[in-house]
Chains A and B, each alone.
Chain A
Amino acid sequence: MLKLQNISKQFDGKSVLDHINLEIKTGEIVSLLGPSGSGKTTLLHIILGLTGINHGKIIFNDTDLSNVPMKDRGFNIVFQDYALFPHLNAYENIVYGLRNRKGSVSKEELQEYINFLELTPHLKKRISELSGGQKQRVSIARTLVMKPKILLLDEPLSALDGVIKESIKERIKSIAREFKLTTIIVTHDPEEALTMSDKILIINQGNISQFGSPQEIINQPANDFVKEFILKQLEIKRENIYNLFGEKYA
């Protein structure tokens, strides 16, 4: 279980996050949802250990990680632009970290990750030859072989085109189930957040607007922000789709 207690963060005296309290259970998928500048990416970087905090505590399975450096926390991230190394091919990217942790992953396990992400036909390809979805799967594989205790995903769908988005969503859900991996996702798209997570944390201007399951958010929006900015978008989308297909699909 990951607990954030009273997390506050200021950049140059300006408050970005204000007294954030949060509990995430093991194996849960949690989305951090909010408009740009809301502080969601900062919160993700704080959990990762890339950004320090001014106040509060980060506790993972009863250990205080607040002052543990990024490298020793055992969490890992897939960046929005994947940050794959272009001078290495897909396979070399996947096994990059194994040189530093010899024996942590067996040959069979490695093969299992590769099969699971359906990367076998692409292993010898250069990064520039991969499609967006393939790059993302390579990047996820590279992260998974490090056996992270928490998987962080920064806007995992934003760089992908429409068709592939749905399949990646399913993939992320199945990873979390298959490896019982706590997964935290940053996104600005309510539809994405509500359709692939167990819990959603809605952040606005550095404060938590609501934390709950998709059902709770739809049925009991906590405040005007959730109503106006989150639910409104979904309702407009619903309208548009109804109009396209006709009322009979309602």
Chain B
Amino acid sequence: MPDVKPAMRVIYIPILLLFAAFLFLPLGMLFVRSFETADGINLSNYLTVLSNAELMKSFGNSVKISGLTAVITTVLAFFLAYSIHCTRLYSPLKSVIKTGILIPMLLPTITFGFAIIYSFGNQGIITKIFGRNLFDIYGFNGLLIGYVIYTLPSAFLLINNSFKYMDKKFIIVSKLMGDGTIRSFLNTIIRPLSGTLGGAFVLSFILSFTDFGIPASVGGTYTVVATQLYQVMLGSIPDFNNGAVIAILMLIPVVFSVFLLNYLEKLNFHYDKFSDIELTQHKGRDICFGGISLLVLIGMFSVFAVMFIAPFLTSFPYDLTFTLKHFIDTFQSSDLTAVYKNSLFVALMTAVLGTFIAFSSAVLNVRTPLKGKSSMDVISMLTNTVPGMVLGLSYLLLFNGSSWKGTFAIIILCNMVHFFTTPYLMAKNSLSKMNPGWETTGNLLGDSWIRTIYRVILPNSASTVIEMFSYYFINSMVTISGIIFLVTAQTTLVASKIKELQHFAKFNEIFILSLLIFFTNLVVKLLCDHYQKRQFKH
């Protein structure tokens, strides 16, 4: 490892200052405001909130529905991952499952709600197909479907990844030792995966608990914490101090969950070496798991199908003639195209600056001997913990009176901080695998530290940097919980515009905007994947 160079400090200090100003300060402010009352600092805000029966009920609702979502999602995600890794399904079908399940990630959660309404509602496609209302979608049922679709891709990625690093030789060994199906399954699949399955549960719980988009669209009268927080902050009588209290209370289960996640991490098996091994033939197993996976996928697609159909019809579901009128109208409306441009701008800026900050932070932590470099890990744990809504709210409290209010800068910074953890960990992981002698070698060959980073470390991280960019871009395009408190009429983004259009029941516009986000994200994702593959070929 190289000695401490001034160049390292030149990068380190501004990054620390950035997080001080846009993570620690706002959260500190939030904390203070939650105790602030007309008669000074005391607990009365907390007492007000805790004695509010409706608020407490929505807390209970949130916990209940998030818990149920987490159970369903974990089970489904496990089925999907198992189909991919432990069956001899036709391999193109495996690719379809692997790719298809990730599609919801390209859409804002608020769109899920409207897709559900248009599928299962009184006039919905699925309702028409079955000839009757399957169930009441506003409230519990709609939320549950939305949350499961929303959390399934993340849970799947987590479990799928663990399966990849699991030594499947043990399945064969267990068979040879005479284990029955159940014992073999428990010992070679469930036990090694227990940490990950727990992790998938906790992750699904946090995601549902803190999401705003789904309850905003399909929540009905079933109140949850996220909608309550929005009501208190931006409702008819805004109450910033009580909002701060709710945000703090929202943080508590999440903090608890993050500790639980760290604990569960310890349950995971770490195989030194793992080798690919042929799986045994078993037609029944393959048909069973293939069938279930396809059903999950079809179920998910059927919900989104309406989004691709309705905007092309004159007046769904009454007049089903094909038309491009809605599209032409939308694209001619300068209002909507401006919103789309805003979103693009914010996503692009977030992706560029965010990737720069996350990559620099990882370089400082992994490849320098700087004192206090592990503060980057603390920051990343914190950004992982704070839900978007809480972060956005704390920005609102801190910057409300300042000239930062209503700027794009504040939205971009919020996204950068909100989504920091994953890209940072991506970079850290890739940088720590690189040869520790490169900086010394570069130095001996006449390069300064920063030049070695540029000439050697960066080119060898190209694939990771592209992945980080893609992650930041897509998440900035779809997030609503992070920015809902920060947008103004001038800085509206597509996701928040959809929320606005809801009040005017302009569902065609909602779907067209959603499609715009979807295809933009799809293009960015495909481009990034393409460049990533090209990097690997070298």
Residues of chain A touching chain B, judged by Cβ–Cβ distance below 8 Å, are 50, 69-71, 76-77, 79, 81, 83, 85-87, 96-97, 99-101, 126, 142-143, 146
Contacts and interface: CB of A to CB of B under 8 A. Distances in A.
B438 A100 contact: no
A87 B459 contact: yes
Given A85-B456, A86-B460, A77 B444 contact: yes
13 contacts: A69-B3, A71-B443, A77-B444, A79-B440, A83-B435, A83-B437, A87-B538, A96-B445, A97-B446, A99-B446, A100-B446, A142-B445, A146-B444
A77 B455 CA distance: 20
User: What 5 pairs across the A-B complex have the smallest Cβ distances?
Assistant: A100-B446, A97-B445, A83-B437, A87-B459, A79-B437
Contacts of B400: none
A86 B437 CA distance: 13
Contacts of B456: 85, 87
Contact of A85 (B3, B438, B462): B438
Interface string B403-447: 000000000000000000000000000000001011011111111
Contacts of B437: 79, 81, 83
A70 B445 contact: no
Which of the listed residues A81, A97, A142, A143 has the most CB atoms from chain B within 10 Å of its own CB?
A97
Nearest to B537: A126
A126 B446 CA distance: 23
A146 B440 contact: no
Contacts of B446: 71, 97, 99-101, 146
Contacts of A50: 440
A83 B460 CA distance: 13
A100 B538 CA distance: 25
A143 B442 CA distance: 11
B443 A70 contact: yes
A79 B438 CA distance: 10
Contacts of A83: 435, 437-438, 440-441
Nearest to B441: A83
Given A79-B437, A126-B538, A85 B444 contact: no
A101 B462 CA distance: 27
A126 B536 CA distance: 12
Contacts of B447: 97, 100
Given A76-B444, A87-B538, A146-B446, 10 more contacts: A69-B3, A70-B443, A77-B440, A81-B437, A85-B460, A86-B460, A96-B442, A96-B455, A143-B444, A146-B444
B460 to A, nearest CB: 5
B432 to A, nearest CB: 15
A168 to B, nearest CB: 19
A96 B456 CA distance: 10
Which of the listed residues A69, A71, A85 has the most CB atoms from chain B within 10 Å of its own CB?
A85
Contacts of A81: 435, 437
Nearest to B446: A100
A87 B437 CA distance: 15
Contacts of A77: 440, 444
B460 A87 contact: yes
A106 B442 CA distance: 21
Contacts of A69: 3
Nearest to A50: B440
A164 B442 CA distance: 28
B488 to A, nearest CB: 45
Contacts of A71: 443-444, 446
Nearest to B440: A50
B97 to A, nearest CB: 31
Contact of A70 (B444, B459, B462): B444
A100 B127 CA distance: 71
Given A85-B460, A87-B459, A87-B460, A100 B445 contact: yes
